[in-house]
Amino acid sequence: MRATFTRYLSRHPGAVIGLVLLGLQVIAILFAPWLTSYSPVEADPLASLEPPSLAHWFGTDVSGMDIYARVIYATRINLLISLTAVAVAFVIGVPVGLLIGFYRGGLSSLVMRVFDFIQSFPIFVLGMALVSVMGQEIWNVSIVLAVLFIPMFARVIRAEVLSLRERPFVAAARCSGATDFSIMFRHILPNALTPAIVQISISVGLAILLTAGLSFVGAGVRMPTPEWGLMVSSGAQQMILGVWWVSLFPGLAIVIAVLSFALIGDMAKDLSDPTTRDRR
């Protein structure tokens, strides 16, 4: 397995870039207090809108807060919200998709209609509505994103289960006396997880964009919480005045985070598919 992984990385520089970018985010999360000497929430009106310099590497915002410190600390907030939401959606959506794919009937149809109702709304608009109802707190944003992502994981697993449940190995397991629980979790689920694993990285990237977007329009976390979308929003009004650094650096952080998970998702897809892995 290690040899396969190493060979894959040697042939795919994009995967290496994704891992490096992810590593930078992990470093920012773990060592944020040692990477900057400024507080991410402490304002200094005398240092308002200072351009990038040796004192403030990324400059300061309108309140005088150090943008570099806020970008570093925002990595914790954005990834905490995104990873928590996706983890909850995965833990709930996978078993639900497995059950409604294996047992077809009225209850399965009802669950699918609920998913249809949730996904009939534009995901961003529904996210704004739910956050507005629940309150603009970090955990509330995570819960809202989890609710939006559960149907995605459930549908992905259900589609795989509908195909796998008719395979000969399932009939053989049933003939050997295996229970439905054993067939679902020992025989079908391991073969159906590959698309869901790929969906994790895609959903994390989407969650980062949604978190930043909600904060940008004022429906996400509130000031002075360091969050990339909130920082882009606070600097957008100064862009026309030539104050580019307030929005540029948190915007680049969003790009790096989403790109890293997109590249890792592509790598996970290749490595989890034996036919693709062996060919590449």
Query: Which of these, 257, 238, 258, lies nearest to 248 by C-alpha position?
Result: 238
Phi and psi, residue 159, nearest 5°:
-60, -40
Q: Which residues make Cβ contacts (< 8 Å) with residue 164, sequence separation at least 6?
A: 170, 188, 191, 192
Question: Is 11 a residue whose pLDDT tops 90?
Answer: no
Angle between helices 189-216 and 138-164 (to 10 degrees): 150
Give the model confidence (pLDDT) of 172-186 as tens digits: 888 888 787 888 888
- Yes or no: say if 138 and 80 are a contact pair by the CB < 8 Å rule: yes
**C-alpha to C-alpha distance for 172 and 84, rounded to whole angstroms:** 38
Q: What is the CA radius of gyration of the chain?
A: 22
Give the model confidence (pLDDT) of 120-131 as tens digits: 888 888 888 888
- The pTM of the full predicted model, rounded to 2 decimals, is 0.87
CA dihedral 93, 95, 98, 102 (to 10 degrees): -130
Kindly indicate the confidence band of residue 253, based on its pLDDT and cuts at 50, 70 and 90.
Answer: very high
Backbone region of residue 49 per phi and psi (left: phi > 0; alpha: psi in -120 to 50; beta: other values): left
Count CB neighbours of 279 within 10 A: 8
**C-alpha to C-alpha distance for 226 and 74, rounded to whole angstroms:** 5
pLDDT-wise least confident of 103-112, 127-136, 193-202, 207-216: 127-136
CATH fold of 81-279 reads MetI-like fold (1.10.3720)
According to the model, what pLDDT value does residue 273 have?
A: 62
Query: Which of these, 56, 50, 54, 85, lies nearest to 71 by C-alpha position?
Result: 56
According to the model, what pLDDT value does residue 4 have?
A: 67
Burial of 111 (0-12, 13-18, 19+ CB in 10 A): middle
Average pLDDT of the segment spanning 236-243: 82
Tokens 């907030």 correspond to 77
Question: Is 12 a residue whose pLDDT tops 80?
Answer: no
Query: Which of these, 148, 149, 168, 170, lies nearest to 102 by C-alpha position?
Result: 170
Average pLDDT of the segment spanning 182-196: 85
Kindly indicate the confidence band of residue 1, based on its pLDDT and cuts at 50, 70 and 90.
Answer: low
DSSP 60: B
Q: How open is the CA angle 170-176-181, to the nearest 5 degrees?
A: 60
CA dihedral 149, 114, 215, 223 (to 10 degrees): -100
Q: Which residues make Cβ contacts (< 8 Å) with residue 252, sequence separation at least 6?
A: none
**Alpha helices (runs of H) in the chain, residue ranges in sequence order:** 2-11, 13-35, 67-102, 106-119, 123-134, 138-164, 168-175, 180-182, 189-216, 228-236, 245-272, 274-279
Instruction: Let me know how long the chain is.
Output: 280
- Domain segments of the chain: what residues? 81-279
Give the model confidence (pLDDT) of 48-97 as tens digits: 888 998 988 999 988 889 999 999 999 999 999 999 999 999 999 999 99
Hey, what amino acid is at 197?
I
